Amino acid sequence: MSPIPFLDLKAAYRELKREIDHAISGVLDSGRYVQGHAVESFEASFANYCGATHAVGVANGLDAIHLTLRAMGIGPGDEVIVPSNTFIATWLAVSHCGATPVPVEPIEGTHNLDPDRIERAITSRTRGIIAVHLYGQPADIDAIKMIAERHGLKLIEDAAQAHGARYRGQAIGAHGHAVTWSFYPGKNLGAFGDGGAVTTSDAALANRIRLLGNYGSRTKYINDVQGFNSRLDPIQAACLNVKLGHLDEWNARRRIVASIYLDILSECEVQLPHVPNWAEPAWHLFVVRVRERGVIQAELAARGIETLIHYPTPPHLQAAYRDAGMTAGSLPIAEQLAGEVLSLPIGPHMTSDDAQHVATNLLDCIRRSR
Ligand SMILES: *Cc1c(COP(=O)(O)O)cnc(C)c1O
């Protein structure tokens, strides 16, 4: 069996090469290299896909969250609830506004925000909750939304890993006040470089995000606010428009890999992702928990199977957050997960044979490690 990479991005390009090359040359021929038709066209189709009335393209997923929080007026002195076990971008976006990220621990089975813990973290300064659909598994939005409404808080969904996921049958993209997206190449809907977007059904919010991402300017050389330069690149937008047409099919292929893993690995002691009956995950990542992770990961690597760790160090223990004063032991669930999670290869270009090979080898490694 040839080596199995964690994710084969070149295979994704090969499959769509003709369409992608055509989309790119279309932009090059148009002469519009910032904003323009390609961006507007992708924004319209992505908003439609998400069931939202607006999509605003931005430069990346971090900016999507940051500009959304700013557009909501969140700033110094404010607190925003974030998951303790997310990619650091969720925290950084809050910090970049001058506000304070307040971590809440996850439910272990789903790795997502535990609604029962949110209320205890709310203070008179809390302005919003960022629910991350981690690994492409939808968080329990109805429960979180009820808390947000009860306390008059904004609900932002960080859907950077959840393109095409569904919650109670409805696409992720329009449940909260705003939903933020990343099109980083490895995401389920990935560009050939950086990209991001915000979807929302609040027209005023969409306008404000657009304003902030375009130098605070609606009309050239008239600057209403001190904005940023954060726009979705038209070449990336044109490629994303092509890939959006394949997203559901490619997610279906991920689902097949996930079901093979769930099936074969149910016989062993690894902790598998728990999928609540209201969730249709996008299977961005397939994350198991194993106690002897270092040994297992090395043994899989020796057998040509590449695995990754999402994420080895939770944000509160990063040097970047040293000043926040959260020491080891302060968020025990996030810390334990960081020590045990292992992401198996998954992607639209893995075959069923590949998935079986990974799963049987993982089973074997675990049995030998006992
Ligand atoms: C990828 C990711 C981001 C950031 O996206 P970029 O486009 O890399 O800035 C934010 N949140 C989560 C959960 C992510 O996985």
Mean pLDDT by 10 residues, the chain (370 residues): 94 98 98 97 98 98 98 98 98 98 96 97 98 98 98 98 98 97 98 98 98 96 96 98 98 98 90 97 97 96 98 98 95 98 98 98 91
The predicted pLDDT at position 258 comes to: 98
* Chain mean position to CA 151: 26
* Closest approach atom of ligand 1 to CA 196: 7
* Unique residue bearing structure tokens 């490619």: 250
Q: Are 130 and 156 in contact (CB under 8 A)?
A: yes
The pLDDT value recorded for residue 369 is: 85
Backbone angles phi, psi at 159, to 5 degrees: -105, 25
Q: Which of 348, 135, 134 is nearest to 247 (CA)?
A: 348
Rounded CA gap, 11 and 226, in Å?
42
- In short, whether 89's Cβ falls inside 6 Å of ligand 1 is yes
Tokens of 352: 């069923």
Helix/strand/coil percentages in the chain, nearest 5: 45, 15, 40
Both structure tokens of 84: 């303790």
Ligand 1: nearest atom to the Cα of 63: 9
pTM above 0.95, yes or no: yes
Ligand 1 centroid to 331 CA: how many Å? Answer: 22
Helix (H, G, I), strand (E, B) or coil at 165: coil
How far, in Å, from the CA of 87 to the mean position of ligand 1?
Answer: 7
Query: Which of 135, 137, 142, 174 has its CA nearest to residue 157?
Result: 174
Distance CA 144, CA 6 (A): 32
Q: Which residue in this structure is represented by tokens 């939770």?
A: 314
Give CA angle at 180 (309, 189), nearest 5°. 60
Cβ neighbours of 360 (radius 10 Å): 12
Residue 268's pLDDT is: 81
* Tokens 């790119």, residue located: 24
How many other C-beta atoms lie within 10 A of the C-beta of residue 299? 18
- Residue closest via CA to ligand 1's atom 3 equals 61
Q: Is the CB of 161 under 6 A from ligand 1?
A: yes
Which of 133, 84, 111, 113 is closest to 288 using CA atoms?
Answer: 111
268 and 363 Cβ atoms separated by less than 8 Å? yes
Cβ-based neighbours of 62, under 8 Å, separated by 6 or more = 89, 92, 93, 182, 196
Give the residue from 169, 108, 178, 168 showing the smallest Cα distance to 140. Answer: 168
Q: What is the per-residue pLDDT for 132?
A: 98
Answer whether 84 contacts ligand 1 (Cβ < 6 A). Answer: no
**pLDDT attached to residue 342:** 98
Q: Among 62, 88, 156, 230, say which to mutate for ligand 1: greatest number of ligand atoms within 8 Å of CB.
A: 62
Name the one residue in this structure whose structure tokens are 């890993």: 161
Question: Is 55 near ligand 1, meaning CB less than 6 Å away?
Answer: no
